Each structure stands twice: as C-alpha cells, then as structure tokens.
Structure 1
Amino acid sequence: MAMVAFCGLRRDEAARIGRAVLPRHFFRAAADVPALEAVGALPEGVKVAAVTRSFPAVMVDAFLTEYVGFDVVVGAEVKGGARYVTGVMEGGELDTERLGLALKRTEKKKKKDYPRPMVFHDGRLAFTPTPAAVLAMYIYLPFAVALAVVRIAIYVLLPWRLSSVVAGLTGVRVRVIGPTPTPAAAEDGAAAAEPRGGRLYACNHRTLLDPVGIACALRRPVAAVTYSLSRLSEVLSPIPLRRLTRSRDEDRRRMSSMLARGDVVVCPEGTTCREPYLLRFSPLFAELAAEVTPVAVDARTAVFYATSPSPVAKSFDSVHFLMNPRPEYIVQFLEAVNTESGKSSIEVANEVQRALASALGFEGTALTRKDKYLLLAGNEGVVKTK
C-alpha cells in the first residue's frame, strides 16, 4: 500500500497526503477501535507514543497525533532521495532508544487540544479504498466519464424545466423539502409599478454545484457568485457565475448589480466543507437586500467527492460530482430573515448560520476558508486566471 500511495511523490506532497487525505479513511476503519477512547482516559502527565509497523510513519502521523491524541508516532520511514520518495519502507526492528528519544523531545499535549474533530479533508474517493472497491471503481471509470459528459450536455443545452427531468433519467436526483419561494417580482402582483429586483438566497457550501441544485429546485435559472472560479467551471456552468475579488466595495457592487437583474445565490462560507460543519459566514450578503432566504443544501455521493483545494483539480469538481452513479442534492428553503430589523450584518450572518445548522443537523464553527486551504493545500485557495 505504501508503494502504491507514495511512489514517485515529492516528500512535501507525501506529507500533505498523510495530513489531508488519509485521516478520513483511517477514521472509517478505526471508528470502533477501543484505543481511541483509551488514549483520552490516560492521566494528564502521561506521554503516549504510537508505534507503527504496518504503515510508514508519514501515512499515520497526522491521524494519530491530531485526531486520536497520541503525542508522538514512531515507525518505519519511506526510502527516497532528498526531494522524492520511492514508497519502499525501511526495514529493521524498532530501536527502543529512538522511541525514548522521540518521547523525550515531544511535549505532552494538553487534553483540551485533542482529539480534534475532522472538519477538513482532501482526496477524491468517497469510499474506503479496499482492493475490491478500487477494482470496481476502475471498471466503472469509463462509464462514469461518459455519464458526466451526457449530464453536462443535458444541463447546458436543455431548458431548465426539461433538463431536471431528463437528468433524473440518468440518475441525478434533486430532492426538495418544503415549499419553494415564488419569484420576488411576482409577490406584489404582475402590475407592480417598479421592479423589485431578485431574491437573495444564502446557502451553505457543499460543492460548486450548490447554485445549480437550487436552480433545479426552483425550476428557474439563478445567478451565483463565488471565489476562485476556474475558467473550465465557468464554461461548463449552466447558470451565470460571477467571480468575487475579495475587495469588499467591489464585491458589494458586483453582487448588487446582479441582484438588480434577478435572483442571486451566495455561499457566505466562501469555500466548501464535506463534513457536517458550517464555516464562519461572511456578513457582506446581509447588507445587500431587505431580506435573505436561507437555503439548506446537502450533496450526497458514493464514489467521488466533488471538492478539492488544488487549483488544477478543483476545475473538475463539477465533473466528478456528475461521474457518480446516483448523485443527489437535497434542498430546503427556510423562512426568510429580515436584514433591516436593527441587527448588525454580523448578527444576521450568525442567525442565518444557526438556522442552516439547525435544519441540516450540522455544527457551526468559526473556521474560515483560509483555515481550510492552509491546512489542506498550504495556500489561500485562489485560482489564478489570465
């Protein structure tokens, strides 16, 4: 397994995989292991070391130290040069002197620091990569690519009311919970003297296709704003997308301009999160309209995750979602929140976050997109375009 996972990788990339990708799979395999509870039950002053013989230390170090609570991990390393690794594990028995030295150099963690919940992780595989499962995935892969191409063509070429029905025949499912809002312009009747503009929807961010899922639920097109939009994602999108600049005044101008022309979907988290957590909401959206409609969305996939922090890989996020056999979106429109009730924009943003967390059964956090990308990719998550 070490050979397959690490052969030819740069050392820093191998460490990133051990930190960002593998912990999710180890969590699935170790969910019922008694050691996970035993570590936390040890006395405060005891240092705990994990000794690994089956895996190189780089594969399990982050999982055992950051999510289980071990103070240090000692085991075989992978061979290689100064920059690249071969994937071959160093042989030999564990040196007890080396173990003692590692414990001596390691500071005891405070109990409040572990175990950490797993909020962020990377990797495309949404299943545990056992040999049989990986073989089945490779057999399915050619069909998955063809299926994604057909589904993209359906959404791009067909009208909205027809595309959702035809896409459903290929296995794509959009499930709507509760009633859907009417267009903002229709609320005051067709004879309204002045156009009201569009409705502002604020949703949690699961994949790049969140606004598309909302549009399918509404059965009408909406516009969306996003950070780090790649050129490929922009070309493949069946709805208008606008890239944000991170300049508050410019972003406000762009979003207000789009809202004046029709419905707009904004993801205040600024980045996706796969696990049942909500990141901190940026309050800018709460300053754009008299009311905001929160939308709780959840994306379910069985084979491929549709998110990635890599600037190149994230261009294919939508493709990977549509490569799943039966991808599903669950959309729930919540009661509109008044932004002119005297509360600050930050308080409104927190209120929307709490409403979405309650509807989804998720947990709200104060983490940001910067926290995610620094942990998973070592950057701030910006896709540069020419």
Structure 2
Amino acid sequence: MAASKTPTIKQCVSKGRENDSVVAEMDRALLTQCGSFPYFALVAFDVGGVLRLLILLLAAPLAWICRHLVSESAEVRVLVFACFAGVRIKDIKSAANAVLPKHYSEDLHPDTWRVLSACGGRKCVVTVNPRIMVEPFLKNYLDVDFVLGTEILSWRGVATGFVAAPGVLSGEAKVVAVGKVFEDSSVPEIGIGDVETSDFLFMNLCKEKYTVPSKPRIRPVKPEDLPKPVIFHDGRLVQKPTPLTALLIILWFPIAVPLSILRAIFVALSPLSLTYYIFHIIGCPITIKRAPPPKAKNSNGVAFVCSHRSLIDSTIVSAALGRSTTSVAYSIARLTEIVSPVKTRRLTRNRVDDAKIISDILKSGHDLVIFPEGTTCRENYLLRFSSLFAELTDEIVPVAVDLRVGVFYPTTVRGRKWLDMFFFAMNPRPEYEVTFLDKLSPERTCGGSGKSSYEVANNVQETIGRALEFECTNLTRKDKYRMLAGTDGLVGKKC
C-alpha cells in the first residue's frame, strides 16, 4: 500500500456504518497525544511514587535513542522495563482502571472517534503499548470489542519488566494479530492508521484504508461527548507528565515534603480563630465569597452542608467561619485527628446510629460541617446527596467548596487517606474557595414545607451545583467505587 496516496480520515464517510467493522491504531490514530512517556509516567508514579518516576525519567533518553536509531519496539521495551519491573500485576491493573482513563479520554482524536463510534460491527484497536494499560479505557468507555497490544511477562503475580512472546506488537506482528481476530469472519471494512511507521501495514487487511495526519494542535474530543463519561479518577498527579514536567516534579519533591510537614504543623498549632490568616501566611490562601452567617441565637447548631473536595475541607470551612465546628466522617485516620484543629466525630454507616450522632451534635449547640456526598470528588461534578441531614434539622446553610491545585491531587481512593493533607500542602500554592449560600428558608425545609428529606437534599445539591457551575449526578458513593474498579457508571443530570 502506498501510504502517501491513502485518503485521510477526514475523507471517511461515517454515515451508514451500522454494520461495518473497523480496526484502528491507538498510538498515532486514535489519540492526539504523540508519545507513550506521559502514560507510562502516570502509572510509574502511581505504583512506585517519585522513585519509580525517577527511574523512568532516567530511562527516557535511552528510549528516545532506541526509537530513532533502532526501532519503536526497542523504545517500548525500555519503557516497559523501567516502569513495570518488580511491580505487582494487580497494582498495574488498578492504575490502568483508575488513573489512565481520564487522561486517555482527554486525548481522543475527533475524526478517528467519529468513524469508530459510527461503526456497529466489530471494533478492534491495536497498539504497541502494553494491553494491560489501555484495555480498561477502550473496553469500558469506548465499547471496543478487541484490544490487541503488547503482553508483559510476570512471575507469581509480579511483572518482570520483559515483553512476552511474540514481542512488541508492531509491524508484521500487528498484521498477524488483526488477521487472527477476523479469521472467522469477513474482512473488516475500515482500517485507520498513521503513515510514520510500518504499522500501517495491517490496513492492507481492510477494504477501506484511511490515515491520520499528524497535527500537533488538533482539538481532542470533549470528555462529555463520550458514550460513558469519565467522571471519577484516581492518582496523585494533576497533569500528564512530559519528561520536562516529570523532571520538575522530581526536583520539587525534596522541597515539597518538608514544606508540607511545616504547613501541617503551623495549622495544627494555631488557634482556630487565626487559622484563616495562617493559611494565607503559609501560601495556601482561602477566598471567601459572601459573608458567613453569624452564630445562631437559638440553642441548636447550624448544619453547614458542603461539597467535598479534600480531607481538610472541614478545617477550611471552620477557618472561613472563624469559629469552632464539629465535622462528621465515615473514616478518620489517627494522624488526621491529631493534626486537625476541628473536632471530628466518626460515623458508623448505620443510618439510625448516625442520625443520633448528628442530632446530638446539633442539640448541644455546636455547628456541624457535613459532606452529604460521602466521599470526595475531583471533577466538576456532585455526587447524590444523602438526605440524612434534612431529616434532622431545618437550620441548613449550603456551602460551595472548591479547590485548585497545580501538581498533586489531595484525594485518593486506593491510597493512604492520611497522606491527603500532606499532598495538599505539597502543592506550591493550593487555593480554596468557599461560598456561603443563603440559609434555607422554611418553605425549602422538611419542617416548614412538608417536603420529603430527599427533595430537600436534591434542592441543596442543585443550589451548590449552580454556584460552582458543577454537574449534579445521580451517582452515589458506591457508584464511584464501582467505576474506579472498572465497571460501568451512570450518566448525570445537568444542574
């Protein structure tokens, strides 16, 4: 096949493809991002921290030399060894499920996705990268039927760092792999690849062949246009690390660790009335939008119902209020209890017992900071609110809490939660924004209007969602964990 004479993907008609099969290359056709290093780096940091990221970065020059002087296969072997050697297979799978889909979804090529999504027959994606990395995203979010990639060797559940036979899936190996998938069916109608390597040879097996020209500034598909939105993700790194970004993270880390410890000590030792100013002094400013309500004159406390962005949200809200509050949480690390200047009560996950805990706090006159989502969420979404708070009080103040960080996410699902506050403080200048919304009028509460607790909770969720310009979803805390495990999620509703 003469690659230069092959039509481009823009010339491919996507209408009327309901019965057509398609084979697409992932690395330079399905993705706009050229190069595998950022995705390997995300996995490396997730499974091995900054040390594994350093090893991968040191191997990057060798991988670059191998790519340009030897072959792409040699480059992949170097990256696989540096990233995976000695890592448990279950940890690699966990990172691939929870970390990579969000970043892959942000690099999806619009024209390739237009054709791939239009085809109703067999969908097959081929890649030189390890299948274990790409398969969760392709199958769970793009509904791809077959994922053909490089297989890695393991021994007793631990990756050796070497590639399994028949080796890296490139060139003729791709032709053989695609042929096996379609050997019991008709020839695939569409083949999509690039023209930079010999990998486009697999398209000779297809009736129609299209190439994807390299355009570095092409705008990728919007994540919300995917059939299954990638709402939740895990992992500590905010951005895909290029070699330069990875180097900056590694150089910053020795500074960030003692800085985070010092910041935590300052906050822990300062009186709550000064915490707001201490956060500004240590480089973690808090922006307060709209004045917080004054202390209630009646004997009962007020429930400040907040969106949940990180482990220290209760401290931030209390600092913005300038007075003592009590927070409730499902699980509390011992170190968090010691460091936090805010009193925290542990919930039991039993609705009756939790109702008594919350009711006792409010009846004692203490203000309550509560997060009805039940867990943190990083994206511009709100989980479905628990209605428990609405059953127990009519003194409700919605609070829109948002967080901006540049390097590290201060939230995790699969990692150690007690580290969240330190990762927050490891960012050069993390910023919080707290917006105190209007207290619920009697006609918007259960006691004043006769509304159900679910109606009140949904109303509070929508109020906070509008203030933050976030999407309100019907997803629960349990749905989040199922999605991070690689299972299907639900589509949200707009606020």
TM-score range, shorter chain: 0.7 to 0.9
On the 8 A contact 1:20/1:121 being kept in 2, the answer is yes
Aligned counterpart, 1:381: none
On the 8 A contact 2:386/2:457 being kept in 1, the answer is yes
Q: CA deviation at 1:96?
A: 2.8
Aligned counterpart, 2:411: 307
SS in 2 for 1:184: coil
SS in 1 for 2:182: helix
Aligned counterpart, 1:37: 114
Aligned counterpart, 1:255: 358
2:158 to 75, 84, 103: 84
Tell me the amino acid that sits aligned with residue 101 of structure 2.
P
Aligned counterpart, 2:102: 24
Aligned counterpart, 1:290: 394
Q: CA deviation at 1:58?
A: 1.0
Tell me the amino acid that sits aligned with residue 255 of structure 1.
I
Write out per-residue CA displacement over residues 93-129 of structure 1, whole angstroms, 9 at most, x where no aligned residue: 122343337999xxxxxxxx96211111111111212
Aligned counterpart, 2:247: 135
For 1:76-225, list aligned pairs within 5 A. 76-90=150-164, 91-92=167-168, 93-94=173-174, 95-100=177-182, 115-185=227-297, 195-225=298-328
On the 8 A contact 1:122/1:376 being kept in 2, the answer is yes
Q: CA deviation at 1:324?
A: 0.7
On the 8 A contact 1:47/1:103 being kept in 2, the answer is no
On the 8 A contact 2:299/2:365 being kept in 1, the answer is no
* In the alignment, structure 1 residue 359 sits paired with structure 2 residue 467: yes
For structure 2, which runs of at least 5 residues remain unmatched after alignment? Answer: 1-78, 187-224, 487-495
For 1:312-323, list aligned pairs within 5 A. 313-323=416-426
Root mean square deviation of aligned Cα = 2.3
Q: Distance between the aligned counterparts of 2:94 and 2:86, measured in 1?
A: 14
Give the share of equivalent positions with the same residue, in percent. Answer: 41
On the 8 A contact 1:172/1:327 being kept in 2, the answer is yes
Aligned counterpart, 1:279: 383
Tell me the amino acid that sits aligned with residue 25 of structure 1.
H
Q: Which stretch shifts more, 247-256 or 365-374?
A: 365-374
Aligned counterpart, 2:88: 10
**Number of paired residues?**
357
On the 8 A contact 1:74/1:102 being kept in 2, the answer is no
Q: Distance between the aligned counterparts of 1:268 and 1:180, measured in 2?
A: 20
For structure 1, which runs of at least 5 residues remain unmatched after alignment? Answer: 105-112, 186-194, 379-386
On the 8 A contact 1:227/1:243 being kept in 2, the answer is yes
Q: Distance between the aligned counterparts of 2:301 and 2:131, measured in 1?
A: 54
Change beyond 3 A, Cα 1:358–1:101: farther
SS in 2 for 1:181: coil
SS in 2 for 1:308: coil
Q: Distance between the aligned counterparts of 2:460 and 2:306, measured in 1?
A: 9
Q: CA deviation at 1:32?
A: 5.2
Q: Which stretch shifts more, 200-209 or 86-95?
A: 86-95
TM-score, structure 1 normalization:
0.86
* In the alignment, structure 1 residue 229 sits paired with structure 2 residue 303: no
